[in-house]
Homo-oligomer: A and B are copies of this chain.
């Protein structure tokens, strides 16, 4: 087993042993599937969004995952409040800027959060990451190579400005830190036909960040584990319904052999 494979496996074992509590303030669409993904990998999800309790919940958590997929004013207030407490306790905050670029409200909220909170990790697809830095993400008419190129440039800008590790997910995932970029090539196209796969990836970034201090590495591990479980599921799935079921089974049953046989991580 190569060192990268051993390192991914170590992260998984660490999550399974310590069951880190991951506090999610996330969107209504994916709450169930996110909780199940976290349970399947061995973490302990909690969900709480009331201003009255988010700080208390952060106090028992090892990571805070913020996802703006169905944002509204009260929820955004609680996101900031929870992030404030996370900063006080020194636990990592992970931001998923779902739909940034689609509406001004999302774009502005995500940018404000980025600026005020300086999250440890940001995970989004190329257009979401670009929307965090560009006033007009010019993604139409360019091919996917250009998109990746532009998104990685945007990720570097975010990292320089706020110190966040930025994970740009896509056919290849780019995990951008201050002095290095890791690439993960795992995954399967059918995963895009199941809602909440990106949100689950962000939540896993939280679980993996809870068990290791190097967030470039832990984020790459999370993305690799998502992709590997997705591949294993897709190989046996007749469609996105069974993919979703088999994905959770695969996450739960992942072995060091699965990692060794499938990991596509560089450099």
Contacts and interface: CB of A to CB of B under 8 A. Distances in A.
A196 B69 CA distance: 21
B249 A60 contact: no
A99 B28 contact: no
Given A28-B31, A53-B106, A72-B49, A249 B238 contact: yes
Contacts of A196: 32, 35
Contacts of A245: 241-242, 244-245
Nearest to A106: B53
A40 B105 contact: no
Contact of A56 (B56, B102, B194, B246): B102
Interface in A219-260: 237-242, 244-253
A49 B105 CA distance: 12
Contacts of A47: 27-29, 69-70
A113 to B, nearest CB: 15
Contacts of A104: 53, 56
A103 B57 contact: yes
Contacts of A46: 99, 102
Contact of A241 (B32, B35, B52, B246): B246
Interface string A88-117: 000000000001001111100000000000
A202 to B, nearest CB: 16
Interface in A1-53: 27-33, 35-36, 39-40, 45-50, 52-53
A39 B240 contact: yes
A71 B57 contact: no
A195 interface: yes
A73 interface: yes
B31 A48 contact: no
The 3 closest A-B pairs by CB, nearest first: A241-B248, A239-B249, A56-B103
Interface of A: 27-33, 35-36, 39-40, 45-50, 52-53, 56-57, 60, 69-74, 99, 102-106, 192-196, 237-242, 244-253
